[in-house]
Amino acid sequence: MSKPSRFYRDIDGILLLDKALGVSSNAALQQARALFNAAKAGHAGSLDPLASGLLPVCFGQATKVCGRLLNSGKTYRVLVQLGERTESGDGETAVVERAAVPQLDDRVIDAALASFLGEQQQVPPMHSALKFEGKRLYELARRGESVEREPRRIFIHRIARVRLERAELEFDVYCSKGTYIRTLAGDVANRLGTLGYVRGLRRLTLDPFDDLPMYTMEQLAERSHAARDEVLLPSDRAFPDLPRVDLDPGAVAALLQGRTVAARQRAAPGELRAYDDGGRFLGVVQGAPEGRVRPVRLFVDVAAS
């Protein structure tokens, strides 16, 4: 990342960006960073240019949550073109094979989708960013090469039909990290006795932000600077599952120095959210022996504290 100019500012928070079609995740990140004049920014989980929807953009201290969000469950709305297959499994490449689409009804569709629920092994597609002997798989695929890929464990929590119109099937799926929607779409089509590829893809939610609104760049640009900052979520919204502990001022100072301290409440084992007297989120701590806590990841500027 290039060094920010003096006009950039230190700002912390998580933006739930509604990424537009045709824009890469990195381009969307840079647009959002420029709009907020943020000195530091990162995104949590890429979306292909051919996909739209939720892309969490993290500013300042909140960039420390990116790794955690990469492991989150996600919900997608998937539009599958039945009766055709592309090499990439989406609209990036031309149709290479066609097949008849059998007579389908809602009952058949629902039964096929339900068969994908639960834990399963999925083989990643050749058109993916995974590496083989130092090369991205999509680089090999574009040269017409194919290599054996190890299956990965994934989990489909929910999958449900949205609509079926002629050769178009649309469904929603809530899935684990590592799920390739293009592979899933092709597998669903095969289960229905035909071929299929992803013609449209939109990410609807990402844990733990499933009940919160996302914003397009156009909506953000229409807001004043102050109103724009109001849509940013605090870093601790990424940790709703962690219990809270509060620290006295002396313990806060010691924690920020990397020391193990006592909390006001007897700390339970495992990771916790730590706060000071003013309700400021200090970071993630680990329960230690005798009810004490030690820092795991601090979310404050130690030098400025």
Q: Same fold for the domain at 13-70+209-234 and the one at 74-206? A: yes
pLDDT at site 147: 62
Average pLDDT of the segment spanning 164-177: 96
Catalytic positions, please? 48
pLDDT at site 290: 82
pLDDT at site 135: 60
Pick the CATH number of 74-206 from 1.10.486.10, 3.30.2350.10, 3.30.43.10, 3.40.50.360: 3.30.2350.10
**Is residue 136 predicted with pLDDT exceeding 80?**
no
Separation CA 74–CA 260 (nearest Å): 35
Average pLDDT of the segment spanning 275-295: 93
**Is residue 211 predicted with pLDDT exceeding 70?**
yes
pLDDT at site 18: 98
List the chain domain ranges. Answer: 13-70+209-234, 74-206, 242-304
| CB neighbourhood size of 268 (10 A) | 13
pLDDT at site 45: 81
Going across the sheet that includes 292-298, the strands are 244-246, 271-275, 281-287, 292-298, 261-262
Model pLDDT for residues 27-58, shown as the tens digit of each residue: 999 999 999 999 999 999 888 899 999 999 99
What is the distance, to the nearest Å, from the Cα of residue 187 to the centroid of all Cα atoms in its chain? 23
Pick the CATH number of 242-304 from 3.40.50.300, 2.30.130.10, 3.40.50.1000, 3.20.20.70: 2.30.130.10
Whether CATH 3.20.20.70 fits 13-70+209-234: no
Average pLDDT of the segment spanning 224-252: 95
- Mean pLDDT of the residues in the chain: 90
CB 212 within 8 A of CB 16: yes
pLDDT at site 3: 46
Average pLDDT of the segment spanning 244-269: 91
Model pLDDT for residues 64-82, shown as the tens digit of each residue: 999 889 889 999 999 999 9
**Is residue 122 predicted with pLDDT exceeding 50?**
yes
pLDDT at site 2: 42
**Is residue 23 predicted with pLDDT exceeding 90?**
yes
Separation CA 276–CA 253 (nearest Å): 10
Average pLDDT of the segment spanning 125-131: 61
Among residues 236, 242, 224, 290, the alpha carbon closest in space to that of 12 is found at 236
**Is residue 200 predicted with pLDDT exceeding 50?**
yes
Average pLDDT of the segment spanning 232-259: 95
pTM across the whole model: 0.89
pLDDT at site 37: 95
**Is residue 145 predicted with pLDDT exceeding 60?**
no
Give the chain's radius of gyration (CA, Å): 23
User: Which of 1-10, 191-200, 254-263 is the least confident region?
Assistant: 1-10
Q: What phi, psi does 193 have (nearest 5°)?
A: 85, 25
